[in-house]
Amino acid sequence: DGGITQSPKYLFRKEGQNVTLSCEQNLNHDAMYWYRQDPGQGLRLIYYSQIVNDFQKGDIAEGYSVSREKKESFPLTVTSAQKNPTAFYLCASSIGGRASREQYFGPGTRLTVT
Amino acid sequence: DAKTTQPPSMDCAEGRAANLPCNHSTISGNEYVYWYRQIHSQGPQYIIHGLKNNETNEMASLIITEDRKSSTLILPHATLRDTAVYYCIVRVGYSTLTFGKGTMLLVSP
């Protein structure tokens, strides 16, 4: 089945540790995105990538880093510089470019930092 | 991208039509109206989008007013599984999505 996978579903870390969230897609989509969602809020864009080896900051990129070495993969690292890392993280992909229409979302990773 | 305004919550009886409104009075001519929904603790799901004309697919219908300043998402026969937060988003075709708080639709038996 085609789709987007995120792992793990739940992740627990101690404060001060970097953590990397996985996102893989087999939809052959060019564009990939990372969003953050806090309780009762909408989604906020962290980073996005339109093509391999290229990515842009979203609205709340501080304290996060990404890489896009393969078309299928777009991992997100939550660094110790992120002040409030506990949140629900969602990865998405789309065809990309001017043809971009709908985004397909993964199931999300719920990160808790204590 | 234009800003949207949605009611924070709505109720609907199972089997009835759910009509979710969205105001986007500052929409520009090249901006599309998109609808997504998010069931609790899951990733958002694309529902439908449109530019000027009304649109229908297997999930819903989208009615856009002639002046394009507002739209309505219609779920013709709501089921309990349609309980979710519904997001109305306007965007230029190739730009990123901006999600607000959406409308929490509660479908009751």
* Model confidence band, residue B92 (pLDDT cutoffs 50, 70, 90): confident
Of B44, B49, B87, the CB nearest to A101: B49
The overall average pLDDT reported for chain A is 91
The 8-class DSSP code of residue B80 comes to: G
At residue B94, does pLDDT exceed 70? no
DSSP string spanning A8-20? -SEEEE-TT--EE
How does pLDDT run across B21-43, given as a tens digit for each residue?
Answer: 999 999 988 889 999 999 998 99
CB pairs under 8 A between A and B: 50
**pLDDT at res. A32:** 93
**Chain B positions in Cβ-Cβ contact with residue A41 (cut-off 8 Å):** 101
List, as one string, the DSSP characters of A14-58.
-TT--EEEEEEE-S--SEEEEEEE-TT--EEEEEEEEETTEEEE-
**8 A C-beta contact, residue B22 and residue B33:** yes
Q: How far is A33 from chain B (nearest CA, A)?
A: 9
The per-residue pLDDT for B29 is 86
How high is the pLDDT of residue B96?
77
Q: What is the pLDDT of residues B53-70, one digit of tens each?
A: 899 999 999 999 999 999
Q: Based on the number of CB atoms within 10 Å of its own CB, is B55 exposed (0-12), middle (13-18) or buried (19 or more)?
A: middle
pLDDT 10s digits, A12-51: 999 999 999 999 999 999 999 999 999 888 899 999 999 9
Identify residues of A whose CB sits under 8 angstroms from chain B CBs. Answer: 4, 33, 35, 40-45, 48, 58, 88, 90, 92, 97-108, 110
Contact B42 A108 (CB under 8 A): yes
> Among residues of chain B, what percentage have pLDDT more than 90?
79
DSSP character for A86?
-
Residue B63 sits at the chain A interface (C-beta within 8 Å): no
Distance from CA of B36 to the nearest CA of A (A): 9
Report the C-alpha gap between A111 and A113 in whole angstroms: 7
Least confident of A36-40, A71-75, B21-25, B71-75: A36-40
Q: Look at residue A69 in the predicted model and tell me its pLDDT.
A: 97
Cβ-nearest to A103 among B46, B93, B94: B46
- Which pLDDT band holds residue B91 (cuts at 50, 70, 90)? confident
Q: What is the pLDDT of residue A95?
A: 86
Is the Cβ pair A102, B34 closer than 8 Å?
yes
